[in-house]
Amino acid sequence: MNMQISGVDMHYELYGSGEKRVVLLHGWGCSGEMMKSVGQALAADMTVLAVDFPAHGKSSQPPEPWGVPEFAACLKELLTKLNFLPCSVIAHSFGGRVTIELATADEKLFERIILTGAAGIRKQEDGKSTKKTTTYKKLKALVEVARKCRIFGKLPDMWQEALIQKYGSKDYAALSPEMRKTFVKVVNYDQAEKLHTIKNSTLLVWGDKDTETPLWMGQQMEKEIPDSALIVLGGGTHFAYLEHAGQFNAIARSFLVETNG
């Protein structure tokens, strides 16, 4: 199913049964389909809404570069139009950013929250990353100088793209120029100082081998979010919810169905 929201053709799937409702929010570069096993495990007891964020899955791109607040506003509008509020939420990675943005603005939107490998805290750059960033900035500055000289024609554009492919993240390099602006806005948005304002009961589920959103991020979230608990899945990576699907789905069902009034 599709619905026009904030200039975006938003795709979503609605299935399951029950008075309790849960929205599934995927990570960057993924889609609602990635969380289907989670939804199917809950569908017997809950009404499930799986969303494709703008520029992901079957949803169209935003009309302009967006940041986390715009993605959050878009989701809230969709949930409101579908009369799906309040609801619980299971969010992975980027979906965690959107969840944090909404939960810190209005505690009544969500009932219970599950964050797995959630983003929202800026990564701490190590020496290697800092050196790589410095090198990229210096070379980019040279490209910008060359861009001002007409003799080089379109070569600066080619050099710029070569730098991105060499020094940029895989997610960034794979994007169109317009979506790269959105990506930069998203990854530079730090929500660490907002975490303590989340009032909802929150369960954090993390893989101890996660390198995208390392375990220390989950540990920090547990310290900051008042009503929260952290479950660590041994051997799990950034996609621990899929690698340990049986365990994760059982945890989600217990938290959202069996112990949720």
Q: What pLDDT score does 123 carry? A: 81
Mean pLDDT value of segment 163-185: 68
Q: Which of 180, 200, 224 is the last residue of a domain?
A: 180
Mean pLDDT value of segment 176-190: 85
**Which residues, including other chains, have CB under 8 Å from residue 206's CB and lie 6 or more apart?**
116, 117, 213, 215, 217, 218, 230, 231, 232, 233, 236, 240
220 shares its domain with 243: yes
Residue among 190, 187, 207 at smallest CA distance from 94 = 187
Q: How far is CA 209 from CA 3, 129, 214, 224, in A?
A: 37, 19, 7, 22
**CATH code of the domain covering residue 50:** 3.40.50.1820
111 shares its domain with 236: yes
Flag whether pLDDT at 156 surpasses 60: no
Flag whether pLDDT at 129 surpasses 60: no
pLDDT band at 159 (very low <50, low <70, confident <90, very high): very low
Q: What pLDDT score does 59 carry? A: 97
Flag whether pLDDT at 258 surpasses 90: no
Residue among 169, 229, 239, 168 at smallest CA distance from 202 = 229
Flag whether pLDDT at 168 surpasses 70: no
Q: What pLDDT score does 136 carry? A: 44
Q: What pLDDT score does 141 carry? A: 63
pLDDT band at 150 (very low <50, low <70, confident <90, very high): low
213 shares its domain with 87: yes
Strands 21-25 and 47-52: parallel
53 shares its domain with 169: no
Give dist(CA 104, CA 200) in Å, integer: 9
91 shares its domain with 208: yes
Q: What pLDDT score does 143 carry? A: 45
pLDDT band at 158 (very low <50, low <70, confident <90, very high): low
62 shares its domain with 112: yes
Q: Which residues of 118-141 are buried (b: 16+ CB within 10 A; e: fewer)?
A: bbbbeeeeeeeeeeeeeeeeebee
Q: What pLDDT score does 183 carry? A: 82
Q: What pLDDT score does 259 carry? A: 81
Flag whether pLDDT at 5 surpasses 60: yes
**Boundaries of domain holding 154:** 127-180
Q: What is the tally of structural domains in the chain?
A: 2
153 shares its domain with 169: yes
Contact yes or no for 122/188 (Cβ under 8 A): yes
170 shares its domain with 242: no
Q: pLDDT digits over 32-84, tens only?
A: 999 999 999 999 999 999 999 999 999 999 999 999 999 999 999 999 999 99
